[in-house]
Homo-oligomer: A and B are copies of this chain.
Amino acid sequence: MSSSTLLDELIEALRCLPGVGAKTAQRMAHHLLERNRDGGRRLATKLGDAMQRIGNCQRCRNFSESEVCALCRNASREAQQLCVVEMPADQAAIEQATGYRGHYFVLLGRLSPLDGLGPKELGLDLLSARLAEGEVTELIIATNPTVEGEATAHYLAQVARQHGVRPSRLAHGVPLGGELEYIDRGTLAHAFGSRLDV
């Protein structure tokens, strides 16, 4: 039997975190209670706020607490380049590793008909409308080098050409079958810099 119901509930709740099993969750709970209650309280507040207030940017679909995210509103970013990624983590990886100064579009997935993910679910109507605005001249396709990512890239290149926009892809250097999010910054920066027209 346990000495604290609330503690058990906290340990159970911590298991919603990826890669956190029962033992790690217990260690986390004890650590906070013993050594960092302020940190625990701050995390509780930020977590509640974030789950409540973070939605998706109406323009790029990345995480945002406002209707249009800060990056989309940033007038100093170049409007001619639009980089399409699968997930917010991919956007963060490119932003942190490269000197890219253009805009992003986040699919929040990849074409996967079996999972019910088609052009509509990936916001490609929004992307088409964006390209139809006429400002974008290059669509940098940075989907993952997986089978579904490649299929998505192929589809995106067609969409770009329909709007007279030049599609490009990241250069060789991205290992096949790898996930963009986990690639070291140097490799990612190099691949981004030597991207090719497709």
Residues of A within 8 A of B (CB): 1-7, 9-10, 12-14, 16-19, 24, 26-34, 36-37, 39-54, 57, 60, 62-65, 69-72, 74, 87-89, 91-92, 95, 108, 181
Bound Cα distance from A62 to B33, whole angstroms: 11
Task: Give the copy number.
Answer: 2
A95 contact set on B, CB distance < 8 A:
1-2
Please list 15 pairs of residues, one from A and one from B, whose beta carbons are closer than 8 Å in the complex, sorted by A's number. Answer: A2-B71, A3-B63, A3-B69, A7-B50, A7-B63, A13-B43, A13-B45, A16-B42, A17-B43, A26-B92, A32-B51, A33-B51, A34-B108, A41-B52, A44-B48
A29 contact set on B, CB distance < 8 A:
50
